[in-house]
Chains A and B, each alone.
Chain A
């Protein structure tokens, strides 16, 4: 079912193996960041990523998230 949850990357733990610490609601787990790593690994720290089976699979785009919430708010207003 592809359980994936948003987690925040808090630190790079092993740059050679592309490992970082991710945090979800106060729960920490080391994850692989190969799929989301750019040239500067440290730039990942503080970013939110979608975590699946110990891998950060996709960076979460805050602007797109806001856009989606705005769309939902529109359907609320059209109701009023």
Chain B
């Protein structure tokens, strides 16, 4: 039955007809899962290849505001999980999506977000094969939380990982940094900043396939989400037992993102991204890799930003425009404005 309510109530989580209507009308009619059973039953030709491996990941999404320039929590929920699979070399295939909805959430908003999930999934070539909804009382949730899990297939012989990184490897990003973090900061409104920026939120599955084709020696890739490029590089440098040296003059930044950072005293290297990854490859394949990335919309701003050095292990430094250097450390906690 078509849903006539305008807002989600506790009845929509109660297990009765109201819940059935919500699920049918808002979710399954859009996602059209292959099966009505409680579990998805899956097969893909890629799995039949000897040596193929499953990749499996999960991520939860919370964001304020739920909708922002360039995306919403739904696009994040698909892209985040798709990207976690893609950076490991997997071809993303299936996603689950669980929605924790706060009582009072507007159903029109929910429909828009579900539409985003569906559109982003179609774009990434994945199917939403199973899902769940829960409703929590007003004040017990932040509008909407989404958890997605994803399954993909890694083809035989492909093994990406930080442990394969070697000294002298090129460090590459696929575009300008910090757009998502700066967009969210401005969109929250409590700092009263207004700026024409949009989140970089994007699924990177196709980009990773292009990267693998262009640079067969690709060592590792990671998406730079929370904690930004700096955090991703610190993790990878530690895992690889190598140092990373960035070149400040090569870091791609929009002037508006630099502006938000100057106003609030923030470092763009720590701003969140939702459609950016950092890749490591042998130096002689860097040029081909950058060229391949640039051919795709989500790789327009691709460039080499630095290189790996044999030591000291786990250290990330930034060479400044004057040849000075500074350490790019892990954050202690959340990055806070530094104003007074």
Contacts and interface: CB of A to CB of B under 8 A. Distances in A.
Whether the complex brings A and B within 8 Å at their CB atoms is answered yes
B340 A26 contact: no
B256 A27 contact: yes
Contacts of A2: 340
B339 A29 contact: no
Contacts, number: 43
Contact of A28 (B195, B262, B339): B195
Contacts of A24: 259, 262-263
A17 to B, nearest CB: 14
Interface residues of B, number: 17
A78 interface: no
Nearest to B262: A5
A67 to B, nearest CB: 23
A25 interface: yes
B288 interface: no
A53 interface: yes
Given A3-B265, A3-B339, A29 B196 contact: no
Given A25-B255, A27-B194, A53 B263 contact: no
B140 interface: no
Given A25-B258, A53-B340, A5 B192 contact: no
Interface residues of A, number: 14
A53 B256 contact: no
Given A3-B339, A53-B339, A27 B265 contact: no
Contact of B256 (A3, A5, A26): A26
A1 interface: yes
Contacts of A29: 192-194, 263
Given A5-B262, A5-B263, A27 B340 contact: no
Nearest to B259: A25
A26 B339 contact: no
Nearest to A24: B259
Most buried by B among A3, A26, A30: A26
B267 to A, nearest CB: 13
A30 B192 contact: yes
Contacts of B339: 3, 53
B192 A26 contact: no
Nearest to B260: A27
B41 interface: no
B4 interface: no
Interface string B238-269: 00000000000000000110111011010000
A5 B339 CA distance: 11
Nearest to A30: B192
A3 B340 contact: yes
Interface string B139-150: 000000000000
B262 A25 contact: yes
A3 B258 contact: no
A29 B186 CA distance: 10
Contacts of A30: 192
A33 to B, nearest CB: 15
Contacts of B260: 27
Interface string B25-51: 000000000000000000000000000
Given A3-B339, A24-B263, A29-B192, 10 more contacts: A1-B338, A5-B262, A5-B263, A24-B259, A26-B196, A26-B259, A27-B186, A27-B193, A29-B193, A51-B263
5 contacts: A1-B265, A25-B262, A27-B259, A28-B195, A29-B194
